[in-house]
Structure 1
Amino acid sequence: MKRFVEGADRGQSTLFPECVEDWIDADNPVRVIDVLVDDLDLAGLGFGGVDPEATGRPSYHPSILLKLYIYGYLNRVQSSRRLEREAGRNVEVMWLLGRLAPDHKTIADFRKDNGLALRKVCARFVELCRQMGLLTTASVAIDGSKFKAVNNRDKNFTRAKVERRRAQLEESVARYLSQLDTADRQEPAEALAAKVTRLTEKLTKLKEEMGKLAVYEKQMLASPDQQVSLTDPDSRSMATSGRGSGVVGYNVQVAVDTEHHLIVTHEVTNSGSDRAQLANMAKQAKAVLKTETLEAVADRGYFNSPEILACHEAGITVTLPKPQTSGAKSEGRFVSRTLRICQGRTPIAVRLGSECRIATQTKKTARCCGVTGPQPVKIVHSNRNARPGQSGGLRDGSMSICSKLCRSGLMQTHKPCASVARQSSIRSVR
């Protein structure tokens, strides 16, 4: 083939066999994994199988499986079966494992039997990052994410689900019984007999399901949180941001360094809400970083007064927005958090986005300044809860505002005023 890049012949023999080392660059991340794992004291961390048994079939050293485990999570390959395939076709994994290819059952058992030791490896990695000066800034960002468990939503039962399922079963039973009554009033026939047999079998299955549902209800009522999962007992039903898109899984909390985006600490919980996780994660991050003070940033889902107070008492400065709980916007009224008030002696201007109102305490007339210049407008008494354009009066009757809006957002005042902007975040300072 002319003018194309040609590959080598598959049947071409080489005088000197190629070395796997030549396929791995000097700055390849797998070299970091290899050095990190070889430097760990696996027996001290709690890994089993470090000392081989005198009898039986030889096993894989824990360092081999740990390297494969870290490589998989670094490259988003979590499945044990996919890791098994990667060990037989990926050159990086071949170099890392010395051409060993453990099967998926061995990989899965290693992950299941060494959960606590793997957490200690994460802590050792954080310690290494601190020694390298990557965690010098005592500032973390805390957030959570819902991870789906190996448990179908139909295999998770709450009080509401049990009641809905029982109502469905009772409705089906009533429908089948009605069909059987109708069949009894008809003349006997071969097709009718087959239909009756089929309906009887369905009724038997429904009764069995109702018996199982009673057992599930008993287990659910005995649970502290009134919920039970059949496949994965520790998983729980959790609401997500999408409407009607709940998931049965876990809530994974993570504290990340704000400078280098390194995971400082993490925790898995089956609580669907983040409101009770702020102080716990912040204190864990502070203990890992070994610092006297800490700055933590989170979203409004973590806003909880007792949690903020606990962080304050532990020397942790928390920055997070306050939830928007006012119903004024949905009712068509002004929302106080969106108002910027410029206060002077006279006049007083209230600005909302690009719209503004001019108010005066003494005069009965005022001017609304637009692009073309001042225009006289009529003054009406205002009400704090009144909708834009409606009139009303304050209790003391001392303030009145324009009923016309300045669309240009420009305004002239004869005396200087100070701008006061309401902050939308709560900052706890020790």
Structure 2
Amino acid sequence: MNETERHNGSPASLFDELPAVEEQQVIAAKQARAASRRQGPPRLLQPNRGQIELRASDLESLLGEDHRARLVWGYVERQDLSRLIESIKARGSNAGRSAIDPRILFALWLYATLDAVGSGREIARLTRESDAYRWICGGVSVNYHALNDFRSGNESLMDEVLTANVAALASAGAISLERVAQDGMRVRADAGAASFRRQASLEQHLAEAGELVDDIKKRAAADPAAASRRAQAARERAAQQREECIRAALEQLPQVQAAKRRNGEKPEQARASTTDADARVMKMGDGGYRPAFNVQLATTCEDQVIVGVEVSNTGSDMAQMAPMLEQVIERTGTVPGQWLVDGGFPAHEQIEAVHAHTKGQTEVIAPVPEPRRKADKRDDDARPPPDKYRRKEGDSEPVAQWRARMAGDEIKDVYKQRAATAECVNALARNRGLQRMPVRGLGKVRAVAYLFALAHNLMRMAKIAPQMLGRGSGASKIAAALA
């Protein structure tokens, strides 16, 4: 190709070096495309996630040998639930539906607590969708009514199980009661701030609620066919529950008024909740005020095992130390050597009560408050503050010993174990869902607190005393893997 042809850019000069395309090949390609269009789109194996499959597998194969659900079930199998089993009325050939094994319900709640699930409806859903919950049920259908009834109605049973476990650990030497730390945490109640009303408002609402109940009954009697029986019964039940809640709030009002008097406040300003009459407005950790309960936990410092649980509707910790100490002694049969609390606990009366109950065997380890300056002296600011560790006028012997004890540097190092123990246990409870109570009423709230204590102690038992769960060293491996 000459220079003139290259500049002209003729087609012959551009494609002379390319191979020629046969006319027959072009025709064949066109025919293939036409045939493909006549045959339709290509066939593809696409996913169909809505189809039902039948799989041949047993529940045992769904979980590994070191799964936490197996640990929970092994623990529940060793608890004495004979009282619940003996109360079951479905026996032999008697009429009635077979009852759900109480061990299933207990295991579901323990596993759900470790899994930060506190709703009966959510657990019922998980028994159909989660392999671990399905394994615990073992093919038994569970509804949320049975779950909620078990948790709300077995406060004393959970208390007995906690006592039996703690006593067994103490008698076996698996835990040490040389040092016990107590702390309280405010847990939000299932009641709104707007549900708190004074006496006049409560009485007015009670009268209105009673009129509503009477009106519903009259309408149902006058025209039985106006609505279905189920709807009528539901409306009447809701109105009666509303009336009962208001009546319970009025019954709680004298206690709130007495607390107002003790604090130097006006008793006529006392208010009670129409949602949860046992709830009280408390100062929370963030500085705000909300309806809450005061959950008290006593934990061994060395092993971090909860040995005492109490729930109150008093926002202050001032009167909680001596009753908790008595509870721990009753549960374990052992007198603790040292009792560690923060500055909100050591009222002089409580220190004296601890000394009297233990005959001086238990030492209270708590910070001594700074002395108050007298307001009637102008030159107090120029004087050095008095020594808070020296005995003051009016101090009893136990209080004077407490002041002198806290002056040493060694005891201050011991006191540091309080935060490392109590705050850690509180944080674990928060992480497991103890943020807001899912139930109403002091008894039901106490049952929830027992569940959290039992779940916590189960994991601690698997680590420090796996032989008590019947799993040898395998239980400690489970606890270490889940820690």
Question: Structure 2 length normalisation: TM-score?
Answer: 0.51
Aligned partner of 2:256 among 213, 218, 225: 225
State the alpha-carbon separation in 1 of the partners of residues 86 and 119 from structure 2: 22
CA gap of 1:267–1:422, structure 2 versus 1, over 3 A, is closer
Against the structure 1 CA distance between its residues 337 and 247, is the aligned structure 2 distance closer, same or farther, given a 3 Å change threshold? farther
Higher RCO (CA 8 Å, separation ≥ 6 residues): 2
What is the percent sequence identity of the aligned residues?
Answer: 25
Q: What is the CA–CA distance in structure 2 between the aligned matches of 1:221 and 1:134, rounded to whole Å?
A: 43
Letter in 2 for 1:260: D
Residue 316 (structure 1) aligns with: 362
Q: Give the Cα–Cα distance (whole angstroms) in 1 for the partners of residues 384 and 115 of structure 2.
A: 47
Give the counterpart letter for 1:254 in structure 2: L
Matched, 1:251 2:294: yes
1:27 counterpart letter in structure 2: D
- Give 1:262's aligned amino acid: V
Who is 1:41 aligned against? 80
Q: Distance in 2 between matches of 1:270 and 1:15?
A: 53
State the TM-score, normalizing by the size of structure 1. 0.57
Aligned AA for 2:362?
A: I
Give the match's secondary structure for 1:17: coil
- 1:285 matched to which residue of 2? 328
Checking the alignment, whether the CA contact within 8 Å between 2:195 and 2:274 is kept in structure 1 is: yes
Question: What is the identity, as a one-letter code, of the residue corresponding to 1:320?
Answer: A
**1: CA distance, partners of 2:384 / 2:272:** 42
Question: In structure 2, do the counterparts of structure 1 residues 318 and 269 end up closer, same or farther at CA, with 3 Å as the change threshold?
Answer: same
Letter in 1 for 2:367: P
* CA–CA distance in structure 2, aligned partners of residues 15 and 154 of structure 1: 52
RMSD (Å), alpha carbons: 3.9
Q: Is the 8 A contact 1:157 1:220 kept in 2?
A: no
Q: Which residue of 2 aligns with 1:193?
A: none
Post-superposition offset of 1:263: 0.9
Unaligned runs of 5+ in 2: 1-46, 202-242, 258-270, 375-379, 389-405, 416-483
Structure 1, 315-324 or 251-260: larger mean CA deviation: 315-324
- Which whole-Å CA distance do the structure 2 matches of 1:133 and 1:29 have between them? 25
1:154 matched to which residue of 2? 194
Q: Which has the higher strand share?
A: 1
Q: Which runs of 4+ in 1 moved over 6 A?
A: 8-16, 331-335, 424-428
Decide whether the 8 Å contact of 1:81 with 1:104 is kept in 2.
Answer: yes
When residues 336 and 26 of structure 1 are mapped into structure 2, their CA distance, relative to the original with a 3 A threshold, is farther
Q: Distance between the aligned counterparts of 1:277 and 1:124, measured in 2?
A: 23
Q: 2:90 aligns with which of 40, 52, 56?
A: 52
Residue 463 of structure 2: aligned partner: none
Instruction: Give the Cα–Cα distance (whole angstroms) in 1 for the partners of residues 96 and 326 of structure 2.
Output: 46
Query: In structure 2, what is the equivalent of residue 301 of structure 1?
Result: 344
Shift of 1:108: 0.8
> 1:369-426 deviations in whole A, cap 9, x for unaligned?
xxxxxxxxxxxxxxxxxxxxxxxxxxxxxxxxxxxxxxxxxxxxxxxxxxxx955979
1:178-193 correspondence to structure 2 within 5 Å: none
Structure 1 gap ranges (5+): 1-7, 163-211, 340-420
- Residue 79 (structure 1) aligned with residue 119 (structure 2): yes
The answer (yes or no) to whether the contact 2:293–2:313 under 8 Å persists in 1 is yes
Q: CA deviation at 1:323?
A: 2.9
Q: How many residues align?
A: 283
> Take 2:292 and 2:350, find their aligned partners in 1: how far apart are those partners?
24
Task: Report the CA distance between 1:252 and its aligned residue.
Answer: 0.9
- Map residues 20-419 of structure 1 onto 2, 5 A cutoff: 20-44=59-83, 49-50=87-88, 52-53=90-91, 54-157=94-197, 219=250, 223-226=254-257, 227-243=271-287, 245-313=288-356, 314=358, 315-324=361-370, 326=372, 336=385
Does the residue aligned with 2:363 lie in a helix, a strand or coil? Answer: strand
Indicate conservation of the 8 Å contact 1:42/1:50, yes or no.
no
1:72 & 1:37 partners in 2: Cα distance? 14
Distance 1:13 1:230, change over 3 A: closer
Q: Deviations over 1:232-290 (max 9, x none)?
A: 111112222433x1121211111011112111110111111100000111121122222
Partner SS, residue 136 of structure 1 = coil
Contact 1:239 1:247 (8 Å CA) reproduced: yes
Q: Distance in 1 between matches of 2:169 and 2:342?
A: 26
- The residue type equivalent to 2:195 in the other structure is K
Higher fraction of helix: 2
